[in-house]
Amino acid sequence: MTLYVLCFALFLVGLYGLLTKRDLVKIILSSGIMGYACNLMIVLFGYRHGGAYPILEKGKEAAAMVDPLPQALVLTSIVIELGATALLAALAIRLFQKYRTYDITKIRRLSG
Amino acid sequence: MIAPYFVIIPLLAAFLVPFASNRRDTGAVLLSLAAGTSLLVLSAYAFFGLSGETQVYRMSAWKLPIGINLVLDAFSSFMLVMVSLIALTSLVYSVKYVRRLDRDWRYYSLFMILVAGMNGVIVTGDLFNLFVFMEIALFAALVLVAYGGQAHEFEASFKYAVMASVSASLILLAIAVVYGATSTLGLATISQALSRQSPLLMLWVGGLFLAGFGLKTAAMPFHAWLPDAHSSAPSPISAMLSGVLIKTLGVYVLIRLFYNVLGAPRLFLHLFLGLGSVSILVGVLLAVGQWDIKRLLAYHSISQVGYILLAMGLDTTLGMAGAVYHMINHAVFKSLLFYNAGALETALGTRDLREMGNVSKLLPVTSATSMIASLSISGIPPFNGFFSKLMIIVAAVQAGHPLLALVAVVGSLLTLASFMKVQRYGLRGGPPVEKTVGRVDGWMKTAMVILAALCLITSLLVVPGIREATLDPVVKVIMDKTQYATTVLGK
């Protein structure tokens, strides 16, 4: 249970950063932290206490293994996050080229 | 078994576009137009060929609890027709329009990836697969928003990207909770497994999904990114975003999840009613004050999606018919309005309504089609918007919510007011404009005329004989609720 709570706390840390930070790079990092928390949560849901590695061999039962599917899902979601972070970083670089600042409060051509 | 082709065709086209075009974009244009046309033909064939049946395609022939399946039923094929229609007109519109941005084939490649992602979201029957396709569509959309390469476009794209990453995290969390509780990811198997779980879990899952996909829908408390992203993008992309993207990633997924998977829990239907009526009023009130024509249209998207959410929350057959009908109507007239805005921007070099004037002599096609679109969105009788709004209002009264019906009527009146402002300042009033800075070419005119004709043609969908063949099977799939699971698993 503690693990789940800590995981949720990590998610909230990311959300807090995303909502309050003014630096573009810190915003990107916060969104990464949120993603990590979600990935951790998925792996945790597939974890069984004292479970074995999920490879079916002779004399091993499937019931005692950790669930391998969440791990596969997390791999996919890590790749997606890599793409998202790269895209955000590229946009941040372009924004810096245009405005010469990473401060989100100074980047205000659009309102609302 | 044509379900996989809705993803294969645009994805293959996106891959082939760079090869088909070296220095000029002719090859890219031809290839993407061919892909768009074949998608439209295929989806129309799927919609009319299914006649209420459900087709299930198992990827790699794995059965459901293990494999991923693609589901093609009346609702998804209806959405596919809508996406293909708007995508094709948007491509036609883009041919000359994007050339002035001085880039080459990349636009068409990204456009095809956007279509592939949306089609994937629509046909998939697997929760995680839906998430992956959603991200594909979003990445393409984000890049296309920033395509013009100006400062405010990057800014809008960054805002959109941050919002998208928040909603992706929420959706991923929801998927984790669902998987933790049910140990399955197929929508049909989730639906069966969740019905045996405690109602508290339903609250968690529903809440996370509503927050995640609500951000995509841009209903009122979640709307902040939409006016920037939709008004900064190139006009054909604005039409795609406002016309179909918020409906496939937002409304379609919400209907699918809350009706077909969760079985329409009462609490969330009430939330839809609340979100819908707030969006209708606040969206339109914010729209009236705008002077930038594309921002005005973007705020109207929030308001019009409010109508769909309101009708979704009523949980009656007529209400759902109104929601589905308003979805396609909004796709048609909102895309047309964005094309008009793009044409005005091309011709006059500004998006500010105060700097425009009487262009009815200079741009006859633009001003005529924009009149039709404005009348449609404000709900004036012979056009499509009137019939879908009437259905929603009647359904609200029948379901015992006269106050919400009043909200819908007031929203419609305010819509009319704000489009009178557009016509008065932007297209018809004031001194005649003498000269233009750019030319509205034939491709743009063709796209606008097609959609203006569709504004009239789609109003035929309420005619009794046609309604049974088009809207009713779609509504039946949705209102059968968790029957979806048995239909999909039964094959």
A59: closest CA of chain B, how far (Å)? 23
**Inter-residue contact B228 to B156 (CB < 8 Å):** yes
Question: What average pLDDT does this structure show over A80-90?
Answer: 94
pLDDT beyond 80 at B177? yes
**Inter-residue contact B240 to B232 (CB < 8 Å):** no
The identity of residue A2, as a single letter, is T
What are the angstrom distances between the C-alpha of B181 and each of A45, A95, B195, B200, B393?
9, 42, 11, 12, 39
Residue A99 touches chain B, beta carbons under 8 Å:
yes
The third-level CATH classification (topology) of the domain covering A2-99 is: Helix Hairpins (1.10.287)
Chosen for mutation from B147, B152, B155, B291 (greatest number of chain A CBs closer than 10 Å) is B155
Residue with tokens 């094959």: B491
**Inter-residue contact B190 to B261 (CB < 8 Å):** yes
Of all residues in chain A, the one with the smallest CA distance to B138 is A84
**By percentage, how much of chain B surpasses pLDDT 70?**
99
Which of A40-54, B184-198, B216-230, B273-287: highest mean pLDDT?
Answer: B273-287
**From CA B480, how far away is CA B315, in angstroms rounded?**
11
**From CA B89, how far away is CA B71, in angstroms rounded?**
26
Task: Please enumerate in sequence order all residues whose Cβ is within 8 A of that of B422, keeping only pairs 6 or more positions apart, or say none.
Answer: B293, B296, B353, B370, B374
Smallest CA-to-CA distance from A103 within A32, A34, A21, A19 is with: A21
Task: Please enumerate in sequence order all residues whose Cβ is within 8 A of that of A92, keeping only pairs 6 or more positions apart, or say none.
Answer: A24, A25, A28, A102, B158
pLDDT beyond 50 at B62? yes
**Inter-residue contact B318 to B462 (CB < 8 Å):** no
Contact criterion met (CB < 8 Å) for A24 and B227: no
pLDDT of residue A111: 54
Beta bridge partners of B239: none
pLDDT of residue B220: 83
Of the partner residues B128, B143, B154, the one whose CB lies closest to the CB of residue A95: B154
pLDDT beyond 60 at B475? yes
| Helix H or strand E segment including B153 | helix B151-182
Quote the tokens at residue B225: 């990114």
Q: Which residues from B are below 8 Å from A45, CB to CB?
A: 176-177, 179-180
**From CA B125, how far away is CA B121, in angstroms rounded?**
9
pLDDT beyond 90 at B184? no
Beta bridge partners of B186: B126
**Inter-residue contact B281 to B226 (CB < 8 Å):** no
B459: closest CA of chain A, how far (Å)? 35
pLDDT tens digit sequence for B141-160:
999 999 888 888 999 999 99
**Inter-residue contact B360 to B354 (CB < 8 Å):** no
**From CA B393, how far away is CA B398, in angstroms rounded?**
9
Beta bridge partners of B292: B352
**From CA B216, how far away is CA B23, in angstroms rounded?**
36
**From CA B422, how far away is CA B416, in angstroms rounded?**
10
- Give residue B351's region: left, alpha or beta (phi > 0; psi -120 to 50): alpha
pLDDT bin (cut points 50, 70, 90) of residue A110 is low
pTM, 2 dp: 0.94
**From CA B258, how far away is CA B412, in angstroms rounded?**
27
pLDDT tens digit sequence for B227-254:
888 988 999 999 999 999 999 999 999 9
**From CA B65, how far away is CA B87, in angstroms rounded?**
34
Contact criterion met (CB < 8 Å) for A38 and B179: no
Contact criterion met (CB < 8 Å) for B172 and A84: no
Quote the tokens at residue B83: 């996406």
Of the partner residues B162, B180, B227, the one whose CB lies closest to the CB of residue A45: B180
pLDDT beyond 70 at B438? yes
pLDDT tens digit sequence for B407-418:
999 999 999 999
Chosen for mutation from A66, A82, A87 (greatest number of chain B CBs closer than 10 Å) is A87
Of the partner residues A41, A83, A99, the one whose CB lies closest to the CB of residue B139: A83
pLDDT beyond 80 at B491? no
**From CA B124, how far away is CA B41, in angstroms rounded?**
20
Quote the tokens at residue B104: 């080459």
Question: Phi/psi of residue B233, each to 5°?
Answer: -65, 160
**By percentage, how much of chain B surpasses pLDDT 90?**
60
**Inter-residue contact B251 to B309 (CB < 8 Å):** yes
- Who wins on pLDDT, A71 or B63? A71
Sign for the pseudo-dihedral over CA of B306, B308, B309, B310? positive
Residue with tokens 């760079």: B18
How many CA atoms within 13 Å lie on the side-chain side of B388?
A: 34
A56 CB burial (10 A radius; 0-12, 13-18, 19+):
exposed
- Angle formed at CA B55 by CA B52 and CA B57, multiple of 5 degrees: 165
Smallest CA-to-CA distance from B280 within B373, B138, B392 is with: B392
Question: What average pLDDT does this structure show over B11-32?
Answer: 87
pLDDT of residue B103: 63
Question: What average pLDDT does this structure show over B42-71?
Answer: 86
A75: closest CA of chain B, how far (Å)? 12
Task: Please enumerate in sequence order all residues whose Cβ is within 8 A of that of A101, keeping only pairs 6 or more positions apart, or say none.
Answer: A107
A58: closest CA of chain B, how far (Å)? 22
Task: Please enumerate in sequence order all residues whose Cβ is within 8 A of that of A86, keeping only pairs 6 or more positions apart, or say none.
Answer: none
Residue B152 touches chain A, beta carbons under 8 Å:
yes
pLDDT tens digit sequence for B64-75:
778 889 999 999
Residue A18 touches chain B, beta carbons under 8 Å:
yes
Of the partner residues B146, B152, B179, the one whose CB lies closest to the CB of residue A70: B179
Of all residues in chain B, the one with the smallest CA distance to A102 is B155
Going from N- to C-terminal start, the domains of chain A cover 2-99
**Inter-residue contact B325 to B399 (CB < 8 Å):** no
**From CA B224, how far away is CA B227, in angstroms rounded?**
7
**From CA B142, how far away is CA B129, in angstroms rounded?**
20
pLDDT bin (cut points 50, 70, 90) of residue A109 is low
B192: closest CA of chain A, how far (Å)? 20
pLDDT beyond 80 at B102? no
| Helix H or strand E segment including B144 | helix B127-145
SS3 content of chain A, % helix, strand, coil (to 5): 70, 5, 30
B105: closest CA of chain A, how far (Å)? 20
- Who wins on pLDDT, B431 or B488? B488
**From CA B429, how far away is CA B224, in angstroms rounded?**
32
- Total CB pairs under 8 A between chain A and B: 97
The identity of residue A39, as a single letter, is N
User: Predicted ipTM?
Assistant: 0.93
Q: Which residues from B are below 8 Å from A91, CB to CB?
A: 142, 146, 154, 157-158, 161
Of the partner residues B128, B169, B228, the one whose CB lies closest to the CB of residue A35: B169
**Inter-residue contact A103 to A23 (CB < 8 Å):** yes
pLDDT bin (cut points 50, 70, 90) of residue A112 is very low
**Inter-residue contact B388 to B376 (CB < 8 Å):** no
Question: What average pLDDT does this structure show over B12-23?
Answer: 87
